[in-house]
Amino acid sequence: MKNDFLGRSLSVINDLTVDEQIFLYKQAQRLKEKWKNKEDLSKFQIKTDTGIYIVFLEPSTRTKESFVNAAKFHKNAKINIFESEHSSFNKKESYVDTFNMLTGYSDYSIFIIRSKLEGTCKLLDEKVSDFASRHNLPSPSFINAGDGKHEHPTQEILDEFTFLEQMNFNNDYIHIALIGDLLHGRTVHSKVDGLRIFKNVEVDLVAPNELQMPTHYISKMKQKGYNVRIFNSIEEYLKQNKKAKVWYFTRLQLERMGEDVLEKEHILRKSVTFAKDFLSLLPQDVKFYHPLPRHKTFPTIPTFLDSLPVNGWEKQAINGYWTRIILLSMFGGALNAPFDTSKKSIKINEEDFVVAAPIKDGRKGVLTEGKRGIKPIENGTVIDHIAKGHSPEKIYETIMKIRKILMFYNIDSADGIFKSADGNYKGYISLPDVHLSKKQIKKLSAISPNTTVNIIKNGRVKEKYRISLPPIIYGFEELMCKNENCITNPKNDENVHVSFIRNEDNQLICEYCETAHTFEEIWSL
């Protein structure tokens, strides 16, 4: 059993289990108490030669400076503030090559990275460990200090710690309102998983439609058992009686918005900005939080609130220092947990998407199609029910896509579109003397789910499989995440292959940036 956190990474908040997060919050509470009582804090300090690299490729005040100060708390650590503008990034060096090199410069390294590219820490966590093992070095830790509009897990840690402080560390229940730009705000996206530390969760999403939380995050919250309500503005929210005592504001991320949304900036901003007339409608003991920075001209939490008891955001920002010290204590090996800390991998049943189907009459099967014009085949494969129920144009498009991705260019074969007995159109591809490999069937399931594969031997259907969307799709060069800011997108030249996980709504979620795709959107061809 492993009890330390050496080599663990934090790309998304879910990389720490609920027990691990609660362990971190209890340690941060102890550290703060000991500091207040002027007690010895050395047990929290990293003991070994550890290089802490602080790599900020996007602007930051709080996250960067609180990490710099948290790193200085660890007196034995070597602190390196990486100057990206003077680095070989400017000579088009890849992220993987850069971090491979840096890993060689300390016995053990912790990298803290803020980047515009989403999924960077996950990719580096996977790739740099190969470099480390080639050189007998321990795998380094990567900490995501905010990646594009994806996640900001260390902000999530300080937020949850602050909420717990408000509730005297009782994690039975939280009722929280998330207000502002819920579409682009990575800190509110991290709440979907971060709020799991509470046993019962009620979330009110307060944002106009244009800035509302992406639907796959809302589904995820509901699947976790959160009670979710949606409101278009603070004004609408205050008209009802069940108001949260935790209000979490975010700024409008204008830098990430398109022209169409920017045109409505004024109206959108008004709907999520607190106004003086709202004060009398607030519940007792409510606290306002904000990851900060506030916009200095148009803050969603205006400055007249600074000196009122609702101000929770200043203490929240200071908590960034304490919680980041503890995160470094954990990843630097100074704090061990009283439970197993080994990284848990998700088990996915690869077989459940290729299901053997009964063969009604071996002599018939595909041969019945022959009556309508195809030459029956003696041996080979018939892919049937392609895009069933769609228009003939869509079916044709799917057939062409299958041919292209599975490279059936120069195979003697036949395609067709038929009307089924139930009146729906469907497509088929007949491949004489071709037997699809398991990998090809898997690929086909991701190109055209809900298709049937018939294996024909000596003029009979010997095997028949119904295929559906696989739970995980990986290992194919033609896959592409549609998000141009994803580290895996070919535009970013990292030369890595993306992978997708199917969610309960049959959306395919990029494993790196967590953008949701339909099965039709994951192919670059």
Q: What is the closest distance, in whole angstroms, from the C-beta atom of residue 323 to ligand CP in the complex?
A: 12
Identity of the residue, 178 or 334, whose beta carbon is nearer to ligand CP in the bound complex: 178
Q: By 3-state DSSP, what share of the chain in percent is helix, strand and coil, each rounded to 5? A: 35, 20, 45
Q: What is the closest distance, in whole angstroms, from the C-beta atom of residue 289 to ligand CP in the complex?
A: 11
Residue 146, interface with ligand CP (CB under 6 A)?
yes
**Could you tell me the CA-to-CA distances from 219 to 57, 166, 224, 293, 314 in Å, in that order?**
32, 28, 9, 29, 32
Residue from 63, 319, 445, 451 binding ligand CP (CB under 6 A): 63
Token readout for 81 is: 């503030």
Give the binding range for ligand CP (CB under 6 A) out of 62-70, 90-98, 121-129, 393-401. 62-70
**Could you tell me the CA-to-CA distances from 152 to 114, 378, 451, 501 in Å, in that order?**
9, 58, 40, 21
Yes or no: say if 50 and 103 are a contact pair by the CB < 8 Å rule: no
Identity of the residue, 146 or 208, whose beta carbon is nearer to ligand CP in the bound complex: 146
- Phi first, then psi: what are they for 355, rounded to 5°? -110, 125
Residue 475, interface with ligand CP (CB under 6 A)?
no
174: helix, strand or coil: strand
Identity of the residue, 317 or 444, whose beta carbon is nearer to ligand CP in the bound complex: 317
Pairing label, strands 227-231, 141-147: unpaired
Number of residues this chain uses to bind ligand CP (CB under 6 A):
10
Residue 162, interface with ligand CP (CB under 6 A)?
no
Residue from 155, 273, 319, 492 binding ligand CP (CB under 6 A): 155
* Pairwise CA distance, residues 329 & 341, whole Å: 14
Token readout for 21 is: 């997060």
Site for ligand CP in 271-310 (CB under 6 A): 291-293
Residue 60, interface with ligand CP (CB under 6 A)?
yes
Residue 148, interface with ligand CP (CB under 6 A)?
no
Residue 180, interface with ligand CP (CB under 6 A)?
no
Give the binding range for ligand CP (CB under 6 A) out of 57-65, 81-89, 215-223, 506-514. 57-65
Say if residue 141 is exposed, middle or buried (CB neighbours under 10 Å; 0-12, 13-18, 19+).
Answer: buried
Residue 61, interface with ligand CP (CB under 6 A)?
yes
Identity of the residue, 110 or 473, whose beta carbon is nearer to ligand CP in the bound complex: 110
Yes or no: say if 125 and 103 are a contact pair by the CB < 8 Å rule: no
User: Which residues sit at the interface with ligand CP, rule CB under 6 A?
Assistant: 60-64, 146, 155, 291-293
